A = this chain, B = another copy of it.
Amino acid sequence: MSEYQQQHSPTAYGQDGDALPPVEQHAQQYETVRNAHETELIEDYVELIGDLLRHRGEARAADIATRMAVSQATVSKMIRRLNELGLVTSKPYRSLFLTEEGQKMAEISRSRHDVVLHFLRALGVDDSTARIDAEGMEHHVSDKTLTIMQRFTEQQRT
């Protein structure tokens, strides 16, 4: 280990934005992000399927491919995974549907997405930028922060 011993000076920490976080905390930050990445795509698919079902009544692989700007083959493969994960049910050549669990996930993702999106708009970000940023950010915002964002948005509204 070539790093110096961490100094345990709790006061210095948090006031000096420049200091490196303690090793364990730093490691946890990166781990959290890596974990988020694993579920991120899954959630995006499930969320989109939920949205399509809600707005269109059906969710076809072709639509998902178009909306995600991805090949149909990729979608097909992904659907198999979602199936194995018990998130969607699919009969070949038919619309997809969400399982109980899939619906729950879609609901959570959607609401998280909405909170972030509305927050960004309340903050003064233009709609199209807010949409893009929200799509990327939503999976990395903790529940704590979400709550704060929601509060902020509501205050702004009054």
Q: What's the Cα separation between A26 and B128 when bound, in Å? A: 10
Each complex incorporates copies of this chain amounting to 2
Give residues of chain A (15-56) contacting chain B, Cβ–Cβ below 8 Å: 17-21, 23, 25-33, 36-37, 44, 51-52, 54-56
Residue A124 at the B interface, CB < 8 A? yes
Q: What's the Cα separation between A152 and B118 when bound, in Å? A: 16
Q: With a CB–CB cut-off of 8 A, which chain B residues contact A126? A: 144
Interface of A is mostly: helix
Chain A 109-147 against B: per-residue CB contact (8 Å), 1 yes, 0 no? 000001001101001111111111101110111101100
Contact A27 B136 (CB under 8 A): no
Residue of B4, B60, B69 touching A2 (CB-CB under 8 A): B60
Residue A12 at the B interface, CB < 8 A? no
Q: With a CB–CB cut-off of 8 A, which chain B residues contact A44? A: 30, 33
Q: With a CB–CB cut-off of 8 A, which chain B residues contact A68? A: 26-27, 30
**Looking across the interface, which residue of chain B has its beta carbon closest to that of A30?**
B68
Residue A107 at the B interface, CB < 8 A? no
Residue A85 at the B interface, CB < 8 A? no
26 of the cross-chain contacts (CB-CB < 8 Å) are A1-B63, A2-B58, A2-B63, A3-B66, A4-B56, A18-B54, A18-B55, A23-B66, A25-B131, A27-B66, A27-B67, A27-B69, A29-B131, A30-B67, A32-B136, A123-B149, A123-B152, A124-B148, A125-B144, A125-B145, A125-B148, A129-B145, A136-B139, A136-B141, A137-B137, A137-B140
7 closest A-B pairs by beta carbon, nearest first, are A136-B140, A27-B69, A29-B135, A33-B136, A26-B67, A14-B127, A30-B68
